[in-house]
Chain A
């Protein structure tokens, strides 16, 4: 006590330092408890698949599963490609390409060319998840509703996509995403 009266603040440093370290220690322990919920190594390991395109005829489509998500693969008809090419960029709700395969996916314009893989424009390959709230749009089957623009239609809240998978009408904010694709041969692709 005597020393306290001489220099009453001397011990504050110890108290503050001790509490600070305890607080930092406790706080850094929170991270593992939060991070454990992130996708685990097993989920990350599923990150690429190969798909054979040879059985698909013009006008047909198949759905592959990649990372638990459907991937729409559509062999577009000449009319569908033509319709997508004719659209002026000003008419697009989302003018950005959203194509992971481009050098600048966040700024390239959403032309039909930028929505596909160079040299393979007849193939439309998309993550088949509505960018609104995650439903699977219709349009893969011939009998499906394809919306006002002939591409895909999401029945959940009424989003219409065109034949390049671009959002044209409804609440979805973005064009359907184009995943990372590598053409191994002309009829075989790797997704992811």
Chain B
């Protein structure tokens, strides 16, 4: 665990000289090589590493794109076209950045649902979870503003619709919403001024994410990783050193994930985007069917499910806000859903609801989609506000294994043992 005492021994005189001045090798050794990792973590635990790599990839490709991009209403669309057609390997860098953002979100959604299933948000990992949610929020801001930079029709109208969400505050204090929206726009409509500031912020936010990730990993290394049993490691036999065990597993998963990434980059670069964004932004014509990027669709479906403007906005932001509170909403003492026979089913109901909302968010705002969106929205909130507190108290959990080693080595003490063979 985090309080594992340092085992680093400088091997040379130079290493010793450094260690007395800036013990960075000691930090890396203690936190990334000898750091004790539960020996039963499965492939769902490899997504933290995948996320880190994708964050770095977005930074590198993004900084290169910024060398060729022009953040003005007149030039933005053309400069992107120029990157695709003329800049040496511009097509590759841009496809990597655009597809990379989608991969980043696929990975973060898996990472979050992993945490939900295995109860990784529960004490003592509340701060770790909240930092993760802040990262998620910052990722959404970065994704939203990045999509705007292309300055195609979807960029323009996506920005118009989403920034206009704030105008619903006029329903609380007349004039407040309008003032905020005009402040965001820097004018009376979305314009080049808006584009310019989005570019500045799109450059900034990923570095904020880097800072948050450092805190996230710091918090992780205070508590240590959770594992599929949710039982904390008790002896040294329950853990293995991070290197080479966790690192090689991470690397293998990363290569598999990169295979999918490369498939999209080289063969389906536009699959996750929208054809309307190949038309330059036109402030006078709204495309008939506006959809945000796929990773916002569940939230967009919630927005549209509510017939009232302010109500829809509140529910949409509420859908994210509620996630911050689940360490306290979940009343069960048991972390892992593996030992929670009732909650387990509700977990899968939540997964289905989120996928369904994602599908419904891409459909036009008409029946029968609206009714279905209302049903799944209701379940989404009920899951966190009703199921989590109540099931946690009512359910009789299965017996926990005495230790991780116990669970892995045949599960003599546990009736849920059949699920353990994977590791």
Which residue, A67, A70, A154, A173, has most C-beta atoms of chain B within 10 A?
A173
Interface size on A, residues (CB 8 A): 26
Residue-wise, chain B 308-331 has the 8 Å CB interface mask toward A (1 for contact) of: 111010000000000000000000
Compute how far the CA of A43 lies from the CA of B182 in the bound complex, rounded to whole angstroms: 11
Chain A residues within 8 Å of B164, by CB: 132-134
B161 and A39 within 8 A (CB): no
Is B218 close to A, CB under 8 A? no
The yes or no answer to B197 lying at the interface (CB within 8 A) is yes
**B3: interface (CB < 8 Å):** no
Residues of B within 8 A of A (CB-CB), count: 37
Which one of B185, B189, B191, B365 contacts A157 once the chains associate, using CB atoms below 8 Å? B365
B191, B193, B309: the one contacting A171 at CB < 8 Å is B309
B262 on the interface (CB 8 Å rule)?
A: no
Q: How far is the CA of A63 from the CA of B285 in the complex (A)?
A: 11
- Which label, helix, strand, loop or mixed, suits the secondary structure of the B interface? helix
Q: What 0/1 readout, one digit per residue, does chain A (105-137) give for beta carbons within 8 Å of chain B?
A: 000000000000000000000000100111110
- Which among B99-107, B115-123, B286-294 touches the partner chain? B286-294
Q: A133-B165, A134-B164 are in contact. Are A39 and B188 (CB under 8 A)?
A: yes
Among B160, B171, B366, point to the contact of A134 (Cβ < 8 A).
B160
Does A69 sit at the interface, judged by CB under 8 A? yes
CA distance A37 to B186 in the complex (A): 5
**Which chain B residues lie closer than 8 Å to A70 at the CB level?**
283-284
A173 touches B309 (CB 8 A): yes
Closest to A130 in B: B286
A171 near B308: Cβ-Cβ < 8 Å: yes
Instruction: Note all chain B residues with C-beta closer than 8 A to A135.
Output: 157, 160-161, 286, 290
A173 and B170 alpha carbons, distance in the complex (Å): 11
Return the CB mask of A149-173 against B: 1 if under 8 Å, else 0: 0000011111000000000000111
Q: Are A171 and B307 in contact (CB under 8 A)?
A: yes
List, in ascending order, chain B residues with CB within 8 A of A38's CB: 182-183, 186
With the chains together, A172 CA to B310 CA distance in Å?
10
Which residues from A are CB-within-8-Å of B187? Answer: 39, 43, 67-68
Q: A38-B183, A134-B161, A135-B161 are in contact. Are A156 and B286 (CB under 8 A)?
A: yes
Verify if A40 is at the interface (C-beta below 8 Å from B).
yes
Q: Is B335 an interface residue (CB 8 A)?
A: no
Kindly list chain A residues whose C-beta atoms are within 8 Å of the C-beta of B191: 43, 68
The smallest C-beta distance from A93 to any residue of chain B, in angstroms, reads 11
Contact with A along B167-183 (1 / 0, CB 8 A): 11001000000000011
In the assembled complex, how far is the CB of residue A154 from the closest CB belonging to chain B, in whole angstroms? 8
B304 within 8 Å of A (CB atoms): yes
Q: A171-B312, A173-B309 are in contact. Are A156 and B290 (CB under 8 A)?
A: yes
A40 CB to nearest chain B CB (Å)? 7
Contact in complex: A39, B186 (CB < 8 Å): yes
User: Beyond A133-B161, A135-B286, A157-B365, is A68–B189 a contact (Cβ under 8 Å)?
Assistant: yes
Q: Which residues on B sit within 8 Å (CB–CB) of A154?
A: 286
Q: A69-B188, A173-B171 are in contact. Are A136 and B284 (CB under 8 A)?
A: yes
Q: A133-B161, A134-B160 are in contact. Are A40 and B284 (CB under 8 A)?
A: no
